[in-house]
């Protein structure tokens, strides 16, 4: 019998030996009321967790929640947004969590790689601590989702970087508009570094932080945030040309190419 201690409590492994071999993702085609409620719960969990990590970066959390709720409504109304998909995580015939993915090439945001990105992974509390998330990360790579979006605080130590390397991630890509601090977003890629990517090492992460910060400053100087109508995070769909020109001009410098070679 597989038993472990999680958050101070002893637990028995919740899956049968045969059922545990059936871990898979089930795409949500039509959202049921249960799916909608769970999506709202996950969004609330994500926002409060991010606000806690970022020391209140969302000054108006209620307003941010309302904006994201509108995105969910659009998702449900159209079954799926063109660039976003949702999947239930199924194991041993149980719904144990949720995965949300994005196609950043569709949105014009992609900086190389496949553009297929794991955006959110949520495992229900009663199934945490058994390595489910790690298995899902690997499964998503097998399905072609070679990138994952997370915060810099997930890769700010050698031990954390080692964890992601063992899963299969090899390079780090910035998210333009993020400033490179611990609570800001970054993208890991299972492909070897090329284009705008840097090796997934402590030095590579440090370089990614630096370039994130520099591009954010260039966005501000070019009134990107004002043009995009948001106080903080830029939303790219309506201003792709402006966004891309700033990012492309930054990374086409010989300095970046040299740095990439040095880090490698």
- Averaged over successive runs of 10 residues, the pLDDT of the chain (264 residues) comes to 68 90 90 78 70 51 63 61 80 93 60 70 90 94 90 94 95 84 88 84 92 86 59 50 79 63 55
Asked if residue 3 is part of any domain, the answer here is no
Asked if residue 95 is part of any domain, the answer here is yes
Asked if residue 39 is part of any domain, the answer here is yes
Output the CA–CA distances (angstroms, integers) from residue 156 to 76, 103, 126, 171, 201, in the order listed. 36, 26, 28, 14, 10
pLDDT at res. 167:
93
pLDDT at res. 16:
92
Who's near 83: CB < 8 A, 6+ residues apart? 102, 103, 104, 106, 107
Number of domains in the chain: 1
Asked if residue 245 is part of any domain, the answer here is yes
Asked if residue 22 is part of any domain, the answer here is yes
Domain carrying residue 249? 17-263
SS3 252: coil
pTM: 0.78
pLDDT at res. 90:
96
Asked if residue 12 is part of any domain, the answer here is no
pLDDT at res. 106:
47
CATH number at 103 reads 3.40.630.30
């Amino acid at each position: 019998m597989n038993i472990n201690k999680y958050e101070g409590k002893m637990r028995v492994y919740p899956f049968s030996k045969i059922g545990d071999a059936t871990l898979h993702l089930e795409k949500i085609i039509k959202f049921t009321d249960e799916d909608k409620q769970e999506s709202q719960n996950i969004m609330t969990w994500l926002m409060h967790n991010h606000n806690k990590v970022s020391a209140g970066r969302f000054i108006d959390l209620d307003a941010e929640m309302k904006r994201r709720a509108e995105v969910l409504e659009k998702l449900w109304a159209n079954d799926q947004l063109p660039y976003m998909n949702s999947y239930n995580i199924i194991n041993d015939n149980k719904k144990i969590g949720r995965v949300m993915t994005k196609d950043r090439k569709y949105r014009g945001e992609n900086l190389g790689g496949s553009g297929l990105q794991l955006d959110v992974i949520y495992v229900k509390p009663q199934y945490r601590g058994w390595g489910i998330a790690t298995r899902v990360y690997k499964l998503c790579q097998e399905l072609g989702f070679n990138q994952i979006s997370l915060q810099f605080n997930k890769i700010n130590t050698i031990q954390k970087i080692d964890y992601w390397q063992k899963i299969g991630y090899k390079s780090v890509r910035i998210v333009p508009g993020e400033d490179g601090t611990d609570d800001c977003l970054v993208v890991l890629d299972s492909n070897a570094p090329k284009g705008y990517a840097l090796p997934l090492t402590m030095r590579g992460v440090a370089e990614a932080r630096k370039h994130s910060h520099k591009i954010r400053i260039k966005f501000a100087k070019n009134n990107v945030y004002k043009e995009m109508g948001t106080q903080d995070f830029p939303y790219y769909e309506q201003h792709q040309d402006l966004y891309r020109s700033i990012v492309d001009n930054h990374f086409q410098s010989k300095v970046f190419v040299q740095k990439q070679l040095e880090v490698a």
